[in-house]
Every structure is written in C-alpha cells, then in structure tokens.
Structure 1
Amino acid sequence: MADVVGILFKRSTVIKQTTGDSSQVPSNQRLNVPVGTFLILQSYSDPSNNTNHYKFTLKNLQFKGYNTWYAYAPDVQVTQQPLHPVQTLGEVVSKQTEKNVAKILVDKKTVPAQGSFLKLVFNVDTIIKRKPVDAQFLNDDSKQTIPAGTQLVLATDKPDANNVVKFPIEDSHVKVTFTDVEFKGFNKDWYVFMNHSGIQRLG
C-alpha cells in the first residue's frame, strides 16, 4: 500500500497566506480548518524556517485560489502514513433496504454537545462536484479534485433516536456539507461518488 504525506490538524486552527497574526490577515487569505482534517501534501518546509509555522503546498488542491499556505506548528502534525482504504459508502448502501440514503451508526451517548463528529475519508483520487453527474459535464467552478488519503470533517445533524445519521444518495453520489472548509466558495451541497469514499468517526 502506498504511503501518503499529509498534514493532520490536531486542533481547529486558521491557515494563512502569511505567518502573521490570523486576526490581521484578510479573509480571502485565511481559512478555518477543523480538528481532525487531514490534507495531502506536495511539499512542506520546516517550522524553524518560518517563525514556528509550517509552510506547505497541497497536492492537487486549492483553497481560495491558493495551494500554498502557512499553519501554526503546534496546531498541526506533518506525517507519512500508509493509505488505508475504509469501507465505502457504496458498501454501506448495498447492505441497506433503502437506497436513497446512507445510514451511519453513531452512538448518541458518545457525540459531543458541540462540534463535528464524522469525517469523509477518500480512498482514491476523485472529484467532488456540485451536481451528481459525470465531472466532464461540469465547469471548473463546479468541481474539485481531491487526492486519495484526504480526510474532511463533515457538518451533520445529531444521530436520530436509532443512533443513525443519514446522508442523501442521488445517482450513486452522497451529498455532504463540510465543516468550515470551502471549495470554490462553497462548503455545502457537494456530491461524492459513493464508491470512492467512506464515513468514519473523528478521533
């Protein structure tokens, strides 16, 4: 299994276009990233060279038009790890009677009162889209390449009385909303081919 090099967010933080105080950085040059996010890197440089910040370049990925960012070193960890495929949403749905939703079991008693508790794990390089159609029919503003190994935190409802969180399925795509992280100006209503990713608990 191939290894990937990525940056793990150990706590929720702000990535920036400079090493300055995030409160002084314009909104179009900073991005909130929630704890538990794991992004695949093309390259990075040591914090000792950048006033206690990692400078990193994302692999095949941009936020707000930039693929190179700074992150405060104590908030993140750069790590190399094997690419571990998880159970796909397609496999989850194949075991269900209902085919228009993916049902993820989550024990309500273990869910925090505030904050996110699920993440989307990408098993393969894929494209997320604004509509559940083949990516070739969408313009660049309506799609985003996501590298294998990426883990993005999801904004969801709390589990229902049966300890289930439901995600809509349309034309073999799951519809998701990401916590804070935006692609092409949107964090809501992205579609992911259900055989390319799976949903797991954070932590």
Structure 2
Amino acid sequence: MLAAYAGSEVDLPDRLWENEIRPTSLVGDGHVNWNGAAPQVGRGRWHVPHTVGLLLYRDGLSGEQHHVLKRQVASLVFEDASAQTRRRAIARWVWVVRHVAPRAARHLLNAAEGLAQMDAYPKHFVVETTAPMEREMHEAGRRFENGGQWTKSGATTMARWWQLWRHHPKAFDQIFSGDAS
C-alpha cells in the first residue's frame, strides 16, 4: 500500500496511531524522528546530498572542495551497496571530514541508519525519496497560494489521486473510466 498525507509531518506518527494505520515502512527527509511509527524508517536519498551541500556552505566550504565533497556524498548515498557496506563507507567519510565540515558530517551520520534500513529492506521501500510527494505538494501549494481556497482534506485528496495515477495506473483508469466494479 502506498499512502499520501498533507499536513505537518510532526503530526504524522500521532495521525497514524489515531487512525490505526501501521505502515511497514516510512520515508522521510530527516526533519522528524519517525522511529516507532513504522518497523522500517528510511531516509529519502535525494535529500541527503542536497542538505549536505547546504551544510557544506555553512561549514565554510565553497568552490572545488564543496563540489568534491558533495559529489562524494551523492556517490555514497546512491551507489548500490549492502546496509553494512554503506554504513562503513559513511563512517569513513564522516571520520575524514568531521573537523573540516562538522555540520555536513553530522547530517550524513544521522542519515546513515535510515539509508541502511532502505538497503536492508528494499522491498519495503519501493519509493526511495519523498520527492514524488513533493511534486504533489508543489502543485497543491500553487493552488493554496493562488486563492483556490483549498482545504487540508482537498490537498490530501489531490496527493492521493496523483499517487494512485503514478503507482497504480490500471486502478486509476478503472476508477475514472466508470468501470469501478
């Protein structure tokens, strides 16, 4: 099952509990601690190098050094690897750069377990990023901002509609063709 939710992600664990929804996995961007909300909690792969890039600037790195380190992190995050291999590679990178880029190193270290969960349970993480939802969030955000008077439930419905269309096109076609039997 694939689900979509609109609202503050801080509220998600409580919403899941209140509605008796027990997902096997969740993917987040690291802003909220979802441990306990699902047996496997992954870290959206796209966010890690993106955020590390921002943190490298905050650590005072720019130019070629910034580019090289961000590329290294992207390689660590997206390269096919076992959970154990990825953890070791991340630990080595963090050890090497911890004094030069402490914020970036801390972020990658904090992401390591979520990435390892995705490596260890690939069938539970068909979607490896929050980006599919963010595309829908962008569309819903445009409609909120242009005076469309959308409600939270309307945004959630739109997000579900897009997810159904993207991930279950046959079901989408069946529902919207009038043959929903």
TM-score range, shorter-chain basis? under 0.3
Higher helix share: 2
TM-score by length of 1: 0.23
Larger radius of gyration: 2
TM-score by length of 2: 0.25
Higher strand share: 1
